[in-house]
Amino acid sequence: MDEPKKIKCDNVDYRKGYIEVTPGIHDNCINIETWDVHVDIDLSKIEIGDDDFPENGITGNTEIEMSVSEAELLISELQNAVAKIRGENA
């Protein structure tokens, strides 16, 4: 399996972290994992997994397994949210 890529989310200091999407950890499921990063860590200068990433830098972690239909619903809801932010009719 390829190494999953992490999506860095650092738009709001007190709600920053990473999202990772990995298919097939469990049969017919898509794994969604998130990491909350401590507010004092500057993600523009360091990445999770770097040797100098602080040991206490992760303040929370959530992992869920989604069915394909649940993932499709998530995709649809994300597309609707993007359309609303862009001012499009959703």
Of the candidates 24, 21, 25, 44, which has an alpha carbon nearest to the alpha carbon of residue 33? 21
Residue 90 in this model has a pLDDT that exceeds 60? no
- The model's pLDDT over 56-82, given as tens digits with 9 standing for 90+, comes to 999 999 999 999 999 999 999 999 999
CA separation for the pair 63, 22 (Å, rounded):
11
What pLDDT, on the 0 to 100 scale, is given for residue 1? Answer: 61
CA separation for the pair 20, 63 (Å, rounded):
9
What pLDDT, on the 0 to 100 scale, is given for residue 12? Answer: 94
CA separation for the pair 48, 37 (Å, rounded):
9
